[in-house]
Structures are given as structure tokens and as C-alpha cells.
Amino acid sequence: MKLKELIKSTSYPVGSIHNFSKVVIYGAGNMGREVLKILKKHSNHEVVAFIDRSASKGLFVGGIPVLHPEENALPKALKSECLAIAAVFNRDVNLVPIVSLLKEQGFGQVISFVQFHHFFSDQLGDKFWLGNIDKYKSYIDQIEEIKHLLEDKESKLILESNLKYRLTGDADFLIEPEGLDTQYFSKTLERTSEQLRFIDGGAYDGDTLLAMQKLGVRCEAVASFEPDLLNFNKLVEFSKKNRGRIAEENYLFPCAVWSKTEYLKFNSESTEASSVNEIGTNTILGVAIDHIIPNFRPNFIKMDIEGAEIDGLLGARATINEFRPRLGICLYHTPQHLWEIPLLIKSWDLNYKFYIRSHGNSGFDLVLYAIPREG
């Protein structure tokens, strides 16, 4: 089936959640608490309990008891009256066994957080790749074009499975991710034999460099960009401890990769999720790769910059045009990046081959690999 037909014909599989008056939320962390907040404010549902594997005896969240999934503390008849919401939405947790567990326990209906978002998308807003599904119907032609750009069957399968999951929230469409240990260096893609001159956009605490070290990837030079100060200090310590193990030259910049050089509002989380944000309480310096390291001569650029990937690419356009480096660019921080990023790079007409690989659970850590053709 063409992607156009898939997007047009896909109907949301979940009946109205308002058929149930009682709710159980799986997951008592940040996402589960957000679901509770939305339900209290925008619905008449009664939240009966949280279910969480880290539950301890007597634990309550927001006045709601937190039960361990193996306790079976809820009566069978009550379960059949409950909507169970799997409030899990991150790269580290496989959703499929959670949904299966809740179904086996006899809840009246089980939905994923993606499906819950469908009913409250205005209140929840976009969350990484998750947004209102009508957006996809507005960009059918662009999405279809992406499929034709992709070089291999695996990329097309990953694209289609991600779209099906985004459009339906059905965990059965998810495929097993390759894993974070090979992110940006997929084991299914041929690696270059030359030593890397690597730009690490969104270096965090050196996690990508550590993974490269474990994979035996050797660099001639690395330029790392990390604007969050606490993360940057960890990156400095990592670089000191590993001096000479990863690269002969190592340059560290406490800046955000951006389209030009300017001060930016920033949401500092001191985690991987720190990001440029118009209402951020911190101010950082954003820099264009073309401006700050014009003579670096990269042959590989990675960008995991929390939604700023388009700006980062625009600020590196001259560098990419001149040196045609390999690119490893994250596609999962906004819904539209799935098609906007590949089409932007394609528009520069640099004769790249395009691949997509999945490295995290639930559509997270989806990476576009752009590899220059020889000749």
C-alpha cells in the first residue's frame, strides 16, 4: 500500500474513552502524573489506582494508591469496568509487554499513551514526535516522497511501522529497535574506513563518544557542542579521563548548534532533554557550525539537539556543501521532522543516499543517516 493510501485510510482504532467512568493508570512517574492531571481537569473519570512495578506498600500519588502489577489488589469485576492507560512514553521501556499484561489482567479496555493523547492533543500539545494525527494528512505528498528517497527495504519498513504507530497508537506496529549502543553507527550500514573528523551536536556528557570508543571507532578530531553547563562540565571531565583514546584533537564548545550566532532562551534540565525554548529561564549562545569551525573539515556530523535540527543544519549548510560529510540526524523531536529533515537535505542536491534506523523504543531515537555516494 502506498503511504498516501495508508494515511488516508487509517481510522483511529480506539473507541471513545468516555465509555468508561473509571480509570487505572499504569506508570506513576511523570507521564502517569500528567495523565492524572489531564483527567482531573478535563474529564469526569474516576482514577481508581496507579499500577507501577516500583510501587511500595502504602504508596500514594495525588491521593491515588499505587499498586504493584503482581498484587492483583483490584477485584475482577472492578477491572472489567476500568479503562487502563499505559502511561509509558520513552525510549527505555518496551510498551508491548505492558499492554499485554494489562489485557491479561482483564481490564475493560487498554490504551497506550499515544492513544490517550489523541483525545487530549490540544491540552497536551506536541510531545517529541507525538502530535495531532491530522497533521499527517496535511503532508501526505511530502511523506510519500520520503519513502521514495530511502535506499533500502529496512528503512522503508521502519518508516511505515513508525507511521502506523503514530497514526493508531497500536503497540503491535512497533518493531524491535536496533539499540542505543550503535546509534549513529548502525551495524546494518557500511562504515567509512577513514578516520573520522566528527562533529558531535548535542554531546550531552560524552555518551556518543563513549559508545564510539566501545565500538572501536577512532577519530582524528572531534568538535563537541553542549550548551547545558552541568552537562558540559561532565563532558569536560569525560574528555579529560579519555584524552587520546577517542581522538588526537578534541575541541569542546559550551554552545548550542544553531542557524546563526545569537543568544537564545534555554530550558536547562541538566539531562539529555535540555533544549532551546522561547520561555526558557536560561540564556545560552547559539552558534552556526559554518561560523565557529569553518576549517574543521568534518566527514561526519551528528545532531541530537532536541528539536533544533533544522536550524543546526541550516547553520552548517556551507560546511555540508563543501565536504559532503556523513550525517546522523535525529528525526523524533517533532512530528514534522520525519519529512522536513530528509527533504531539506535532498533539496541541497549533494547526491546523498538516505537511510532510517530505529534505536529506541516507541519511536524514539529515530535517526536519518545520509551517506554521500561515491564519485
Residue spans per domain, the chain:
14-125, 146-372
**pLDDT at residue number 191:** 86
**pLDDT at residue number 134:** 83
Helices H / strands E in the chain, number of each? 15, 17
**pLDDT at residue number 280:** 66
What superfamily in CATH does domain 14-125 come from?
Answer: NAD(P)-binding Rossmann-like Domain (3.40.50.720)
Closest C-alpha to 88, from 56, 133, 122, 54: 54
**pLDDT at residue number 265:** 87
On the question of a common fold for 14-125 and 146-372, the answer reads yes
Q: Distance between terminal CA atoms of the chain?
A: 34
Question: What's the rounded Cα separation, in Å, for the pair 225 and 70?
Answer: 45
C-alpha cell at 131: 502530535
**pLDDT at residue number 18:** 83
Q: How far is CA 158 from the centre of its chain?
A: 14
pLDDT along the chain (375 residues), means of 10: 68 76 96 96 95 90 93 89 95 94 94 93 93 87 93 96 91 91 96 92 96 93 95 96 90 97 80 65 92 96 96 98 98 97 98 98 97 88
Sheet holding 60-61, edge to edge: 60-61, 64-67, 46-51, 22-26, 82-86, 109-112
**pLDDT at residue number 13:** 62
Pick the CATH number of 146-372 from 3.40.47.10, 3.40.50.1980, 2.60.40.10, 3.40.50.150: 3.40.50.150
